């Protein structure tokens, strides 16, 4: 589905979040928000912190702690184990799009390539925006090396 300018305006309306710290990188911005502790722990376990503190720019579709908590019991704990590091990396890099994609830039997009090489679907229905099955609950959270869009589910890459 292609997004019209009216949809883009609705998307921009999601951006009514306080600027957590546009002078901080994506990791520090997410940690400072207080609702991404599980994501931060997963990035640490996957050795991706230094990457997302790098120059970028990156667009991160960031699942909240509640999104991780909604996974089946034991899932997060299993993914954080060293022997599951590659699976964790695959999942986390599926939440990252290279470049800075602001809400207004989504006009005309129905999918985007992620850092892990798989595509994510972008769907618009009225003012509701989804990335795969996850609802986008806030957009355009600025960071020094990119942007964060908050989502309410952990999205999983398609099987190879």
- What are the structure tokens assigned to 82, written together? 């060293």
Write the pLDDT tens digit of every residue in 13-71.
Answer: 334 344 445 689 999 999 999 999 999 999 999 999 999 999 999 999 999 999 999 99
Write the pLDDT tens digit of every residue in 98-148.
Answer: 999 988 887 668 999 999 999 999 988 777 889 999 999 998 999 999 999
In a domain, 160, yes or no: no
pLDDT of residue 107: 60
In a domain, 158, yes or no: no
In a domain, 71, yes or no: yes
Based on the structure, what is the number of domains in the chain?
A: 1
Residues 108, 3 contacting (CB under 8 angstroms): yes
Q: What is the pTM of this model?
A: 0.85
- The CATH number of residue 125's host domain is 2.30.180.10
Q: By residue range, what is the domain housing residue 83?
A: 5-151
Angle at 28 between CA 130 and CA 102, to 5 degrees: 35
In a domain, 43, yes or no: yes
What value does the CA radius of gyration of the chain take, rounded to a whole number of Å? Answer: 15
């Amino acid at each position: 589905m292609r997004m019209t300018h009216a949809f883009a305006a609705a998307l921009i309306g999601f951006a009514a979040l306080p600027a957590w710290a546009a002078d901080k990188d994506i990791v520090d911005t997410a940690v400072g928000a207080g609702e991404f502790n599980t994501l931060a722990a997963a990035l640490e376990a996957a050795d991706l912190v230094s990457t997302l503190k790098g120059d970028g720019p990156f667009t991160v579709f960031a699942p909240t702690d509640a999104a991780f908590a909604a996974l089946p019991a034991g899932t997060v704990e299993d993914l954080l184990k060293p022997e599951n590091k590659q699976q964790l990396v695959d999942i986390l890099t599926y939440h990252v799009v290279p470049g800075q994609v602001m809400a207004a830039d989504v006009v005309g997009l129905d999918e985007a390539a992620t850092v892990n090489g798989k595509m994510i679907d972008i769907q618009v229905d009225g003012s509701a925006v989804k990335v795969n099955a996850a609802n986008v609950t806030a957009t355009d959270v600025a960071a020094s090396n990119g942007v964060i869009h908050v989502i309410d589910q952990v999205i999983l890459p398609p099987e190879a």
